[in-house]
Amino acid sequence: MSSLTKKLFISVLTLIVTVGAFAATTFAWFTLGNQAQVGRIDANVQSAEGLDISLDGSNWKSNISSAEINSFLFTGAPDFTFRALTSKDGKSILSPNDVKVDASTSPALDEDYLTEGFIYFELHFRSNQAGVVKLSNLALTSNPGTFNADQTFLAINNSGSYTVTSYDPEAEDHSGTQVITSVLDAIRVSFEYGANVTVYESAASTTNTLTNATNAPTFAGAHSYFVEKGNALLGISKVTNPSDYESLLTTELGNIELPSTSQTFPTGGANALSVLTLASGVSQSIKVRVWVEGWDAQAYNAIFESQLGLALTFDFTPNA
């Protein structure tokens, strides 16, 4: 192998998540609704000279096929459903109702990820050369959707909060009654490597806003919509607190801890994330988790009618 070649290994793992009732195609179709079904994952992990990959740390290969990945992740789970979950640290995945549980003592759900409603897998690497494994590309793709608000509420995007009025089918102008949504805005992807965890979420946009400076969720958005529809959230509702429900909820939401996230995705090698330093002949692994953040301001029910694509690329660079 030429000494000028620095990238010994490139692997690509691609998952396609469908959040509506679409028929299965050549990709993996998950449904994020209550009637979720799984097709298969069209994902391949490939390596080059001297580098092996494993999903279980025992069976090593230079290539992991789509069928093998699908079988490993979903054997015994013909019906898989993403659920609205949360995490304080990107490692412990919790029910949104457990947000005040200490993450260091909270129950680990990784072994039950299929029934708990998130994706979890571990990738093991080993090489006959010492070097560095980097996440060089993380891509999330989806087609945005819209829904007509059936209730006036306070929405939010990167420009700030704004009022969405209840849809009137007889009105000529519906611009103030429609909300643009995307599942990308509520998805989190975390990588655990050694003692480190990096959590990624989509950048702020015309449809998306980030948590506040203390990494807490905001009142505007899906939470406002939920409460304005007459539901109780964190024990507060318009019925029980008609005059100050918004201020009370803002305070309660401010006590919820969410992990710091990065919106600078590795792309084409730029902003690559070094995840492993391999010694010759010694295996190491990383853990990947994908979940829908239930406390995200854009976690509207309407995101379950869209499609999500997730692509990961890892590079291996041997030591000089």
Quick one: pLDDT at residue 214? 66
Confidence band, pLDDT 50/70/90 cuts, at residue 108 = low
Quick one: average pLDDT of 300-311?
A: 73
Q: What are the pLDDT digits (tens) for 42-77?
A: 444 444 455 787 888 898 877 666 667 767 777 766
Start-to-end CA distance of the chain, whole Å, equals: 13
Q: What angle do CA 48, 54, 57 make, to 5 degrees?
A: 135
Provide the mean pLDDT of the chain.
74
In angstroms, the CA 120 to CA 108 distance is 12
Q: Which of 184-193, 287-296, 306-315 has the lowest mean pLDDT?
A: 306-315
Q: What is the 3-state secondary structure (H, E, C) of the chain?
A: CCCCCCCCEEEEEEEEEECCCCCCCCCCCCECCCCCCCCCCCCEEECCCCEEEECCCCCCECEECHHHHHHHHHCCCCCCECCEEEECCCCCEECHHHCCCCCCCCCCCHHHHHHHCCEEEEEEEEECCCEEEEEEEEEEEECCEEEECCCCEEEEECCEEEEECCCCCCCCCCCCCEEEECHHHCEEEEEEECCEEEEECCCCCCCCCCCCCCCCCCCCCHHHHHHHCCCCECCECCCCCCCCHHHHHHHHHHCCCCCCCECCCCECCECCEEEEEECCCCCEEEEEEEEEECCCCCCCHHHHHCEEEEEEEEEEEECC
**pLDDT tens-digit readout, 112-133:** 776 777 888 888 888 888 888 8
Is pLDDT above 80 for 192? Answer: yes
d(CA 87, CA 160): 25
The residue type of 201 is E
Return the pLDDT at 279.
Answer: 94
Q: What sign results for the dihedral spanned by CA atoms 197, 223, 291, 269?
A: negative
Instruction: State pTM to two decimals.
Output: 0.81
Is residue 316 over pLDDT 60? yes
Count CB neighbours of 265 within 10 A. Answer: 18
Distance CA 90, CA 261 (A): 9
What is the percentage of the chain residues whose pLDDT exceeds 90? 15
pLDDT of the residue at 315 = 78
Percentage of residues of the chain with pLDDT beyond 70: 71
Q: Taking the CB of residue 25, how many other CB atoms lie within 10 A of it?
A: 12
- Rounded Cα distance, 261 and 210, in Å: 9
155 contacts 208 by C-beta, under 8 angstroms:
no
Spell out the residues 6+ positions from residue 273 whose beta carbon is closer than 8 angstroms to its own. Answer: 134, 135, 191, 198, 266
